[in-house]
Chain A
């Protein structure tokens, strides 16, 4: 946005809105009687919602009071990961590093509902109108762009956008509701006003706590495996939806941060980003995420990521995997790995095997690597009483002769396609 564009207030509609009836100085301070720009801007608060209790909280106390659960504000996920990997006594150095490099990812109320986030240069989104629903491109993907935005909108060359966007014209808020964006109360009875009630541990990082959103909320039949699609019947319990329904997504390597010697500004450098697809063991297996296998994304943390701030700060680097649980936002109905059973059951390339993990990160990823003996094989497809035809095709040839593989592939493909058509 041009500088003037960033601060141009809509003169026609905004004054008629509820927020337009609040004097500017009520939130922004400054002097609204002065005629000199410098005097008028004296003491001006650029983003009043950085102090939400005194501004937004006046009318929206229910939202502001759960700010301590709001990951957009607390950035708790960073702290959880840093605490797990760091050594005792490294907190001060890491806090300095965090303030210099990570804290910008903080987002206030206004940076979603009024202006673009400061991280991307700020500027009013629509003439100071308070948008109940943030703009997908000017707010959400302005920050969550390099991975989520590019995947969802199909900006990677040769890769389709997420079907929820291309077919459903859905935006972020269609799945990520206000409660998730704003944080949620840890008290069940705040929403469920009737007994029983109990305390739920607060969400301390993006994949903590209750899984929200979850595909199963809309795709109930598919999650129960009663939609007539055999793959759902077989795998709805042990594979996350993304294992079959996502395509290649971005992974990053080797992020290092430092303060520039020439300008004194903080900066980062990453070794590179690349498209990858890796199925691995679920590092966050729980009642809420029971899957055996999930998609994994490589995150750019490195033993020496914060070396500028001190030696051996990440002494417990191995405490967490560098191939992390991920939910790529490029969901497709048909993907190469799910086109047929054999597309996955004879394809070790899809899996995070030990040869794909950097030796210095091997220990950190021990629990997500898929062992050679755990890779799905043709044998796994045999003996299913529901499909005699398939047994007959595979029965004589566990030796993987090309002919038989192709025949089985085609048989299963037909079966799968039929089921999907029926479903439609």
Chain B
């Protein structure tokens, strides 16, 4: 059973490696397509903002909101939350939220990630005088 399990494991890894390689190739081949989408993503909001500016102040404010939304979405996955509390507040469907769903926020984390709080609440350390002599 162990022998075949090992073989299956090897086969799975091989398939994974092949798939990963082919995905990378696809990405490389589709580089120009990605670039096209990126330009489109940046150009459309800019165009909308420009049009809104022409249309007047009221419409302009709506256009700016759109821009800020896009920026937030783009930044969210890379911005690491400062504390677990911030993490729990985050609303985007990022990896952090998945983690927050898996583990209930706890007071353990609130304290043990706060250096100042730990310093303030630390028990005084018992001074242990070693009576050992010589190298141990």
Q: Which residues of A contact B (CB under 8 A)?
A: 3-4, 7-12, 15-16, 20-25, 28, 30, 32-35, 37, 40, 128, 146, 190, 193-194, 250, 252, 255, 260, 263, 265, 267-273
Contact = CB atoms under 8 A, between A and B. Distances in A.
Interface stretch (B23-31, B41-49, B105-113): B105-113
B72 to A, nearest CB: 20
B76 interface: no
A9 B2 contact: no
B136 A268 contact: yes
Interface string B86-119: 0100000001100100111011110111010011
B108 A25 contact: yes
Contacts of B108: 24-25, 28, 30, 32, 40
The prevalent SS among residues of A at the interface is mixed
Given A12-B80, A269-B132, A270-B133, A4 B99 contact: no
Contacts of A37: 111, 121
Tell which of B6, B87, B104, B108 has the most Cβ of chain A within 10 Å: B108
Contacts of B82: 11
Nearest to A146: B135
Interface residues on B, range: 35 or more
A270 B3 contact: no
Given A9-B109, A193-B6, A273-B134, 19 more contacts: A8-B113, A8-B118, A11-B82, A15-B96, A15-B99, A15-B103, A21-B102, A24-B106, A25-B108, A28-B108, A35-B107, A190-B2, A250-B135, A252-B134, A265-B131, A268-B133, A270-B133, A270-B134, A273-B135
B106 A33 contact: yes
B130 interface: yes
Contacts of A32: 104, 106-108
Interface in B67-84: 80-84
Contacts of B135: 146, 250, 252, 270, 272-273
A331 B82 CA distance: 47
A194 B3 contact: yes
A12 B135 CA distance: 40
Interface of B: 2-3, 6, 80-84, 87, 95-96, 99, 102-104, 106-109, 111-113, 115, 118-119, 121-123, 125, 128-136
Nearest to A9: B112
B99 A16 contact: yes
A11 B83 contact: yes
Contacts of A22: 103
A11 B113 contact: yes
Contacts of B87: 15
Contacts of B106: 23-25, 32-33
Nearest to A11: B113
Contacts of A23: 103-104, 106
A146 B136 contact: yes
Nearest to B133: A269
Contact of B84 (A3, A15, A28, A269): A15
Contact of B96 (A16, A24, A30): A16
Would you list the 8 A-B pairs with minimal beta carbon distance, nearest first?
A270-B134, A32-B106, A11-B113, A4-B118, A269-B133, A267-B131, A24-B108, A273-B135
A263 B126 CA distance: 13
A273 B135 CA distance: 7
B115 A20 contact: no
A265 to B, nearest CB: 6
